[in-house]
Amino acid sequence: MKKMRVAIAGLTACSGCQLALLNCEDELPELFEKFAFHFFPMACSPALLEGEYDAALVEGCLSMPHEKELLLELRKRSVHLIALGTCAVWGGVAALRNGEDREWLRQQVYGHNPVASETFEPLPLHRVVKVDAAVTGCPPEKEELLRLLAGLTRGALPVGIDYPVCTECRMRENLCLLTERDMFCLGLLTLGGCGARCPSLGVPCEGCRGPVPEANLAEALEIYSEKGFGRITVLDRLRRFCPEWKL
């Protein structure tokens, strides 16, 4: 069977999502049988965009002009463009600035470095191109990543998840950290699919997978406020991974 031509690119991000793929060590031989990674600057050289791709997996958010160019180029050349990880899907941590003025912060950190002056407010991919599918998570679950790739070989895109972290947390019969322990757990508002990884270890959900569809923020804020977490605290925490959370 003909191998699928794949491009894997990283924009503004920590490369952890690309690493999540490289960490699928047991499956790598099988992946190389099915996929030809023609463009994967983090793992292979040379890194030249050439021809067309069956799929492009893009990690990171957009914050620089050359990233926008690369993304548009990948979109043009690819049948499917897939947002890989929370930064690509929601914007992610690059947009964190604690409400401070962007210009002021830039001056503080980079002074008058001209490269830094080209940056713009970080954007998730879907603000600039059509995204065919998304694998969220910081980093994405290995299983989800492999299922995405297996689906691509069959021409299928993943089915979206519509339940929050709480659903899986309850399925695992965990103690509820929010209602029973008054801990600041964001499971109620966060997209599931991680198997409630953190709450199962007694660690509150940090919201790394971004908002669940139809998140009921108004009611959730009431509940958090009863537990002593004000709306600013909640929104700041939510915006850590998804800067576009709005009231």
For residue 78, the cross-strand partners are 53
Assess 30 for contact with another protein (CB under 8 A): yes
Stretch that binds another protein, among 73-81, 88-96, 101-109, 142-150 (CB under 8 A): 142-150
Report the distance separating Cα 69 and Cα 134, nearest Å: 20
Stretch that binds another protein, among 102-110, 120-128, 149-157, 230-238 (CB under 8 A): 149-157
Strand locations in the chain (E): 4-10, 35-39, 53-59, 78-84, 133-135
Report the distance separating Cα 141 and Cα 139, nearest Å: 7
Least CB distance to another protein at residue 93 (A)? 25
Assess 167 for contact with another protein (CB under 8 A): yes
Figure out which of the listed residues 107, 179, 225, 233 binds another protein, where binding follows CB under 8 A: 179
φ, ψ for residue 159 (rounded to 5)? -80, 130
Q: DSSP label at 202?
A: T
Assess 163 for contact with another protein (CB under 8 A): yes
Provide the CB-side half-sphere exposure for 186 (13 A, CA): 24
Binding site for another protein (CB under 8 A): 1, 27, 30-31, 34, 146-147, 149-151, 153-157, 159-160, 162-164, 166-167, 170-176, 178-180, 187-188, 202, 212-216, 218-220, 223
